[in-house]
Amino acid sequence: MKHRCDLNIHTCFSPFADLYMTPIKISNISKLMRLDIISITDHNAIHNIKSVMEVADAYDIEVIPSIEIETKEKVHILGYFENLQVIEKFYDLFEKSLPKIKNQPESMGKEVVMDIYDEILYEFPYFLNVSSNLSVEETVSLIHSFDGLAFASRIDKTDFLTISNFEFITSNSKVDWIKVVENIDFYKEKYRIISSLDSYFIEEIGKRFITFEYDGSIENRGFEIFKKALKENMIECHL
């Protein structure tokens, strides 16, 4: 059986993300795009993962708890974790590395936490589009200490990554894989890659995806199966 996955989706909690990126709407479009596994990767935050997981479960869609971290070098690292409890423990440590800058919704956009009915529970008071005080190496090490997977993200987007940073992260053996948006054929010759759009808007979900075969040997069809597919180099990227 082949699984279809989009592993870089933001909710309305991420700065500048569309307010339509709610648990129900994300689950709806994921089902329409025939996705079996998705990841919620809000910027420096995990607050909407639980609601998306609860809604997506009704659609028979697995959600891998994840986060997109901006390091002090302004490199984006994606962290993928086994379950909600693990990522919550990780976040308790990680969030101490974030500066507390008051959000200004009028200019920076709202950062909202939603329930399973797409109702706003509260607005987050601090701006999340910031660099943590952790380095790439420290970030990857922290992710691995919770048995998570660490991916270098957006390496083909120069607005977020300088050439020197690119050379640093691609030579850092502690990074598990690399996520690209475009130029799949170019990067896959040198690196182990996955591809997705980094979706901030509903219409972007599922437009870039990966597939891998599942032989039924693992009960948890989310994180553990994804991890097995990576280990066995069974990932196929699709535009």
- pLDDT on residue 163: 46
Mean pLDDT calculated for residue range 162-168: 52
Q: What is the mean pLDDT of residues 58-68?
A: 95
Task: Write the single-letter amino acid at 18.
Answer: D
Give me the pLDDT at residue 160, please: 47
C-alpha atoms less than 13 angstroms from C-alpha of 104 in its C-beta half-sphere: 4
Q: Which residues pair with 64 in a beta bridge?
A: 39
Q: Which of 28-37, 109-118, 147-156 has the lowest mean pLDDT?
A: 147-156
Return the pLDDT at 219: 59
| CA 149 distance to own-chain centroid | 11
pLDDT for the residue 199: 93
Q: How confident is the model at residue 188 (pLDDT cuts 50, 70, 90)?
A: low
Q: Which residue has the tokens 């380095």?
A: 135
Confirm if 4 and 36 have CB atoms less than 8 A apart.
yes
The Cβ-side half-sphere exposure at 103, using a 13 Å CA radius, reads: 19
Percent of the chain with pLDDT over 90: 59
Give the pLDDT of residue 181: 67
In the chain, what's the furthest Cα-to-Cα distance? Answer: 50
The beta strands (E) that lie in the chain are given as 2-9, 37-40, 62-70, 76-80, 112-114, 120-123, 149-153, 177-180, 193-195, 209-213, 236-238
Write the pLDDT tens digit of every residue in 197-226. Answer: 889 999 999 999 989 877 666 555 688 888
pLDDT at residue 118 is higher than 90: yes
Q: Is the pLDDT of residue 142 over 70?
A: yes
Total-model pTM:
0.90
pLDDT band at 169 (very low <50, low <70, confident <90, very high): low
